[in-house]
Structure 1
Amino acid sequence: MPVTAACPIVVRAAERERVKKMAYGHKTEHRMRMRARVVLHAARGRSNARIARETGLHLDTVRTWRDRFAQQGLPGLTDRKRTGRPPTFSPLQATQVKALACQLPAESGVPLSRWSVPELAREVVAREIAFAVSISTVRRWLHQDAIKPWQHRSWIFITDRDFQVKAERVLDLYARTWDGQPLGADEYVISADEKTSIQARCCCHPTLAPGRARAMRVNHTYGRGGALAYLAAYDVHCAKVFGHCEKTTGIDPFMNLVAQVMSQEPYASAKRVFWIVDNGSSHRGQKAADRLSAAFPNAVMVHTPVHASWRNQVEVYFSVVQRKVVSPNDFTDLPQVGDRLRAFEDRYNATAQPFQWKFTTSDLDDLLAKLDRHTTDHQEESCGALAA
């Protein structure tokens, strides 16, 4: 039988550089590199048999890519779309698994607090949604919609009837406003609270410093050396901290903190000093406000809403203390804890900048409107379920 002549290949100047880069580029896939080399050999007028010998490819493979390039050019060197293996699971089954992941296990009578991927795969088979399903398949389905039933977050209902009024009052102070009027240069805002039960845990073995490819090592076993409370007052706009340690919290320790701040300038002669506090037992209610104003007439106590101490900026400072001073906890005794806290306070004040507080009254209105819509929708769903 006569031998079919190979298709002549002509590589245009615009394509030659791309083909060469494809044939000899270090980041080119091997399959694409070999196809490009077939084209370059064919462009030199070599036969398919010779190209097969020089590249180590099968003769039919050389003939295929030579013909594809002759007919389609560079796009012909890419793989054609394939139908692939038929899907094992239907879209309905994937949707049913996602719906199951969005239900609490208790609603199905399963004695679990939350779903894990292996438990979901097991429940899918038990409910006969699928005859068998792998853990990786369930994980891939959940990943498509970012469903993570093994995670949880805590939240709380708003119980303070005056939540919005109290919250706006605090946020206005952070923006240097009170009753719609800007604060004067001789008016200050102090955020105060207590960090309770800072323990002195003396590790049974010395803490090892970090090294190359090794983290700091802290011994797990320790002896208890007691606990103390750290009271701090934070000037919101000057970024200055005043603090001291007490054996416990209470009215007297808190008033000692107030006296520590109000007995020095510029607060002693200020027109007004606003003290933002939460609803802790040592400064709760109108009695605490009256007690403060009786001791210092220019001091005004402002309470955050109930269960909203996160609006108190001193809590941000306490989080810094927790990360940089208290953790990991390895102190020989309580005096060492107090000395470390006082030293860190001086270090912090030397370089501190005011916190970039971005939550404004407008954000508060948007949040409350969102919660109101959520509550309304939930009530409507509950009424509908009862009616059914």
Structure 2
Amino acid sequence: MNETAPASTRRDKESKIRKLARSRHAPGDWIRRARMITASWDAKSTAAIAQEVGCHPQTVRERLRRFNTHGLEGLGDRPGLGRKPRLTETERNRIVALVATTPPGRLTRGSDGTLEAEQDGAPSSWTLDSLTATLRAEGIVVGRSQVRRILVAEGIRCRRPRSWMTSKDPHSGRTTTPAPRGRRQARPRSSPGPAPATS
């Protein structure tokens, strides 16, 4: 690791590498290379690291050299090798950050008590479809399944939005939660009256 970098930067970088080495959702080659780096920090020999990750000692030497030269980017392949990543790290971060924002179509109560949305016609809750549409409108070319994979990798669960019913009365301004699903309770039946008299 670059010893001339500030201590806080070195700690942040080391924390990222150690987290990546323990990850279950990052690309496999990045996890393996991060394990090489953390093992070298733990003072293991090149041969021991190679045996631990299942590669040749020369591969370990090359990866350590590349990491020392290029830092975190050194964990990836050199440009021109393999498939180009579809998203940059900045775009991935934007996807994760977008989920934490309030959807622009969500109704909020103003100071005068009226319900208003920041943007009419915008999504009122974040779903995979609304996230994908918003990201595409921002110029990030991403698919619904890719958004889902990124969120799952970050530990963010996708849930169905809870539906709400609104009153048909335009002056009401109230919203009510839907009745819980399940069996409806039967209405109590009135007891039958006395049997008619027969003659």
Normalised to the residue count of structure 1, the TM-score between the two structures is 0.19
Larger strand share, 1 or 2? 1
